[in-house]
Amino acid sequence: MRITVRIWRQKNVETPGKLVSYTRDGVEPDMSFLEMLDVLNEDLIAAGNEPIAFDSDCREGICGMCGVMINGVAHGPQRIATCQLHMRSFSDGDTITVEPWRADPFPIVKDLVVDRSAFDRIISSGGYVSVNTGAAPEAHATPVAKTNADRAFEAAACIGCGACVAACPNASAMLFTAAKVTHLGELPQGQPERAARVVSMLDTHDAEGFGGCTNIGECAAVCPAGVPLDTISQLNADLLGAFIPNRRD
């Protein structure tokens, strides 16, 4: 395959960036998208040029580090992490535009790399539970209804990639925040901080500069972990319950 890639190149957050085109022959359909970038970087290094900076770690769709905009869609044409996207999703002769996440709370570090530490600060403000850290309890010592357990696992699938923010026209991180609130709010261990958690995490969300949710749904449409949009409804219910007792459920 012959592929032309238009990639955003930017030295740092203060320096203006631009799209630069690279054409590569011999791209194999079974290459992952990141492998294609690796091969392109090998060519650039061999020619004495600066390689393209991009984030990756597990390359198994688990860590969420690899997120980029591909042809204007977060993670590309399939609802999977960028590292799991393969070049067979494109055709010979295609031109592919690759850009970093676009959101003020995600400043560009270099090229396709953005600083997502705002997510870390949201989690640290309330994404924890107060439990004893002694010996592990018996697995069935704390019963959890299956519906609650399923809901908690569904929300806990969030990998923190930031696609929800990149896809949202408001640059809202409400789906990410709601996933963390719902995950812990569905479990018995999460109840002591439940009211304080949602207030603190939303305060941090807003302080970091993320936009408000207007229920457009683009966040859930691109989420590679399949976190459902109605977790935001759970967040709103928990927020109401934090100020009006017995109104969370």
Does 227 score more than 70 pLDDT? Answer: yes
Tell which residue, 88, 77, 82, has the closest CA to residue 58.
82
pLDDT band at 157 (very low <50, low <70, confident <90, very high): very high
Rounded distance between C-alpha atoms, residue 109 and residue 125, angstroms: 24
pLDDT at 185: 94
Q: What are the φ/ψ torsions at residue 108 (nearest 5 degrees)?
A: -75, 125
* 3-state helix/strand/coil string of 152-175: HHHHHCCCCCCHHHHHCCCCCCHH
By C-alpha distance, which of 129, 71, 107, 92 is closest to 209?
A: 107
Tens-place pLDDT, residues 164-194? 999 999 999 999 999 999 999 999 989 999 9
- Ordered by where they begin, the domains of the chain are 3-110 (3.10.20.30), 117-243 (1.10.1060.10)
Predicted confidence at residue 245, as pLDDT, reads 67
